[in-house]
Chains A and B, each alone.
Chain A
Amino acid sequence: MIESIVGSLNAGAIYIIPLLLVGIPLYALAVKKVKVYEVFVEGAKDGFTIAVRIIPYLVAILVAVGMFRASGALDLLLGLLAPVLNLMGFPPENLPLALMRPLSGSGSLGLLTDLVNEHGADSMPAKIGATMFGSSETTFYVLAVYFGSVGVTRSRHALVAGLTADAVGALSAVYICLLLL
């Protein structure tokens, strides 16, 4: 049953964007007589300014994350955390992914690929990893891009809240998979 729900959801997903692209202008033009072409171009102009505005913030965050990853500091952190997380029943195979997920989207996708190749897609580490990957976002990237786009530098409690949610997400991914699968 779940398979068919997933199948139809993912099959339906390919129609969502085309439907939005045709549906919104259709409603605007037919019901509200909006000059759709002119309004579209007006809105699209902001795309450039916003994209350029986030560059310095993204450089700052991605450089720090890249250095952290390349230096082996992430491995050191893994070594420190491993004993604590082992006590909590956290599978060691999934620890690198859990730490990488908030830092780097491409990095964590790479680790998930490793898990699938090494253990097989049907294995528990791969399923836990995929759940972790799907249930969380690249917190540092989102923070840099979203706050950067409006020039907010004092992010207050956003990072603490985001990282706590990531930690709870990773732990619940483990326990939910072990419980249900």
Chain B
Amino acid sequence: MLNYIWFGMIAISVVAGILTGRIEAVTAEAINMAKTAVEISIGLIGIMALWLGIMKIAEASGLIRIIARGLKPITIRLFPDVPADHPAIGSIVLNMSANVLGLGNAATPLGLKAMEELQELNPKKNTATNAMVMFLAINTSSVQLIVPATVVALMGVAASQIFITTILATTCSTVTAIIMVKVLQKTRRFRLEDES
């Protein structure tokens, strides 16, 4: 899937770049973005270290297990393949809470921790599990309660008006994401080979 989309984007870009006479800009942007990707990754190190350190304390003190147990009724339905007391559930719940509260900086490290723990349960390391896809889809559809700070800065007073609309729209997209994942994971094209 990603193979075709990735190649398709590059191929279309080169063709479109030649047709529109912007091929030099395409080359420049490719090199520029390669640099940006590394800058973003390196820039993540400090924040990652901070939150992973705090997470380790939360884990060692049993806090994560308490939180995971509290939200068991929800997580067991969303992630039926993950044992309810597995540390991954704790990280998933914390990542979602960070997203809901608009703490983007904290959400990514928590999310990556969750992925690492989900990977422990994965029999085929290069292939995403159902739980991973569900977790990712919920993340990309962005469950958010607080309007992002950048939007507040940009919109000024009008930001209060988009508070409700943002919650409603994000609810629609998250519900869609969950339904899509649940439906698609059973289709012949996407299901895991050992399930039939």
Contacts and interface: CB of A to CB of B under 8 A. Distances in A.
A180 B168 CA distance: 11
B84 interface: no
Contacts of A142: 136, 139-140
Contact of A44 (B23, B53, B151): B53
A141 to B, nearest CB: 9
B90 interface: no
B17 interface: yes
Given A24-B54, A43-B57, A165-B176, A76 B16 contact: yes
B-side interface size class: 35 or more
Contacts of A65: 9, 33
Contacts of B36: 62, 66
Interface string B99-128: 001110110110111011011001001111
Interface in A34-58: 34, 36, 39-48, 50-52, 54-55, 58
Interface string A144-155: 011101111111
Given A40-B56, A76-B16, A169-B176, A112 B29 contact: no
B166 interface: yes
A67 B34 CA distance: 11
A165 B177 CA distance: 5
Contact of A34 (B26, B60, B166, B192): B60
B196 interface: no
Contact of A121 (B10, B158, B174): B158
A63 B154 contact: no
Contacts of B20: 71-72
Of A10, A63, A134, A139, the most chain B CB neighbours within 10 A belong to A134
Given A2-B160, A113-B154, A158-B137, A149 B145 contact: no
B30 interface: yes
B44 A51 contact: yes
Given A126-B155, A181-B165, A165 B180 contact: yes
B52 to A, nearest CB: 5
Q: What 7 A-B pairs are tightest by C-beta distance, nearest first? A: A43-B56, A47-B49, A169-B173, A66-B33, A47-B48, A28-B61, A44-B53
Given A131-B165, A165-B173, 16 more contacts: A24-B54, A34-B57, A34-B61, A36-B57, A39-B60, A47-B47, A50-B116, A71-B14, A76-B16, A134-B151, A146-B139, A149-B112, A149-B115, A158-B133, A165-B137, A177-B165
Interface of B: 1-2, 5-6, 9-10, 12-14, 16-17, 20, 22-23, 25-26, 28-30, 32-34, 36-38, 40-42, 44-50, 52-63, 101-103, 105-106, 108-109, 111-113, 115-116, 118-119, 122, 125-128, 132-133, 135-137, 139-142, 144-152, 154-170, 172-174, 176-177, 180-181, 184-185, 187, 189-190, 192
20 contacts: A17-B103, A24-B54, A32-B60, A44-B52, A46-B52, A47-B52, A50-B48, A58-B38, A63-B30, A76-B16, A127-B165, A134-B144, A137-B141, A146-B135, A147-B136, A150-B119, A161-B137, A164-B176, A165-B180, A168-B172
